[in-house]
Structure 1
Amino acid sequence: MSNGSEHGTPVIDFRGVGLTYPGPPPVTALQPTDLVVHRGEYVTITGPSGSGKSTFLNIAGLVDAPSCGRYLLDGADTTDLSDAGRAGLRGSRIGFVFQSFHLLPHRSALENVVLAMVYNNVPRRLRPGRARDALRRVGLGHRIDATPTTLSGGERQRVAIARALVARPSLLLCDEPTGNLDTATADSVLELLDGLHRDGMTILIITHDPSVADRGGRTLSIRDGRLAEGSPASDLRTAS
């Protein structure tokens, strides 16, 4: 599945990638899937609860290994990597943004972002400067010493995005990034993501919100573990 563009080596290249849990009974969470996401694309994925969105995200994010097919990330074949190998590639190539922020509450914004580099082989002396740059990039240069408990929901999500960006990944994976935010705050976070996309970031968002799905340049739907182009209205009404 491709949008037909030619942009060199894809960021995501699924070749018959699927995942079946052995059971008993066996449960197929993701049907064998072909998918190409090119560098600089902004892709949104919708689907009802239990459709396979989380499974897809975990495979794309190198959290879970598929049970069939091959997954090439930036041209690197991840199929036979060990858990440690997947973790290393994940840390250097993929940034994650979650609905629930996952920030350490008693650490400053700066410290939360710095800690993301501990396992990415970034030299210690470079971490504070990179963290400050990432926080400035998301509009929080003036809040680097604030703790999450003193930040608004939108500011906390911006810290989480800075944390995801600090390793300079080639792919930003977002799981319901506005799910805990009010409409106005959600819009500001989405505008930030739009800006990152304009700067060349490859973004993939899992969402049940039609207004979020519409921000993408390309929308996919997933139902019963099957990924398809487009976002049927029924998916968005029943998603959660």
Structure 2
Amino acid sequence: MSLEHQVAEPVIDFKAVARIYPGPPAVHALQPCSLTIDRGEFVTVVGPSGSGKSTLLNVVGLLDTPTQGTYRLDGLDTGAVKEAERAALRSERIGFVFQSFHLLAHRSALENVELAMLYQRVPRPERRTRAEAVLRRVGLAHRLGSLPTQLSGGECQRVAIARALVANPSLLLCDEPTGNLDSRTADSVLSLLRALHRDGMTIVVITHDAHVAAQGQRTVTIHDGVLTEQNLHQEYT
């Protein structure tokens, strides 16, 4: 496959993807759907509780497998690889950001980010260099040695975003990234996501918050496992 062809591939490409949890009764958590997210897009996903957002997140994030259909990530058929290869794809190509920061309380901001590279066999000196660079990128150059207990909620989320970015993933997948933050702090995190998008990062944010959803170029709505789309053509100033 040529480099040009690889670049042209969507980051996410669903073809009739569905997820059914066995019963009885069987739960059709994600109805057959097609979804394409190109490189460099910022897409938000909204829906009420129980609508299927978590199932969609798990399938996109390679934490769960479709019951039917084809999911290609960067052009790779994720259903055609073994579990170890799926785990490697997940680690190398998807950066996760959650509502809860999931930082190790006894480790500094720098160490929390470094640990994300531990299982990728990145040499220790390179781990430190890359962690410092990505923490600078999210505005935390002055907080490298701080513990999570010494950081604000917004700073903790920035550390979590840095940790997600350090492997240079194809996709930043965020699940309610502002859910534990006050409105002012949430806006600062959203500003960071917009800046990352301007730099070319592909971002998918799952949220119940209309203000957060409005940040995307496109919004995907999920209800009773059914996806619909709305084009917003959002431009940042």
Q: TM-score range by the shorter chain?
A: over 0.9
Task: Quote how far apart the aligned CAs of 1:164 are.
Answer: 0.2
Q: Deviations over 1:78-136 (max 9, x none)?
A: 01322221110000000000000000011000000000001223233310000000100
Q: Which residue in the other structure is 2:3 paired with?
A: none
Q: Deviations over 1:49-84 (max 9, x none)?
A: 000000000000000011101110000110132222
TM-score after normalising by structure 1: 0.92
Query: After the TM superposition, which of the residue ranges 76-85 and 111-120 deviates more from structure 2?
Result: 76-85
Q: Which residue in the other structure is 2:44 paired with?
A: 44
In 2, the alpha carbon distance for the partners of 1:103 and 1:222 equals: 30
Residue type at the aligned position of 1:111: E
Q: Which residue in the other structure is 1:238 paired with?
A: none
In 2, the alpha carbon distance for the partners of 1:201 and 1:41 equals: 7
Query: After the TM superposition, which of the residue ranges 122-131 and 66-75 deviates more from structure 2?
Result: 122-131
Equivalences for residues 50-129 of structure 1 within 5 A: 50-129=50-129
SS in 1 for 2:157: helix
Task: Quote how far apart the aligned CAs of 1:167 are.
Answer: 0.2
Residue type at the aligned position of 1:204: V
SS in 2 for 1:24: coil
Q: Which residue in the other structure is 2:11 paired with?
A: 11
In 2, the alpha carbon distance for the partners of 1:120 and 1:104 equals: 19
In 2, the alpha carbon distance for the partners of 1:120 and 1:54 equals: 27
Residue type at the aligned position of 2:42: Y
Give the percent of matched residue pairs that are identical in Structure 1 and Structure 2: 66
Q: Which residue in the other structure is 2:132 paired with?
A: 132
Q: Which residue in the other structure is 2:4 paired with?
A: none
CA RMSD, Structure 1 to Structure 2 (Å):
1.1
Equivalences for residues 154-193 of structure 1 within 5 A: 154-193=154-193
In 2, the alpha carbon distance for the partners of 1:152 and 1:171 equals: 26
SS in 1 for 2:120: coil
Q: Deviations over 1:20-57 (max 9, x none)?
A: 01112111110111000000000000000000000000
In 2, the alpha carbon distance for the partners of 1:142 and 1:191 equals: 19
Unaligned runs of 5+ in 2: 1-6, 232-237
In 2, the alpha carbon distance for the partners of 1:99 and 1:156 equals: 11
Unaligned runs of 5+ in 1: 1-6, 232-240
Number of residue pairs matched by the alignment = 225
In 2, the alpha carbon distance for the partners of 1:46 and 1:196 equals: 21
Q: Which residue in the other structure is 1:33 paired with?
A: 33
SS in 2 for 1:230: strand
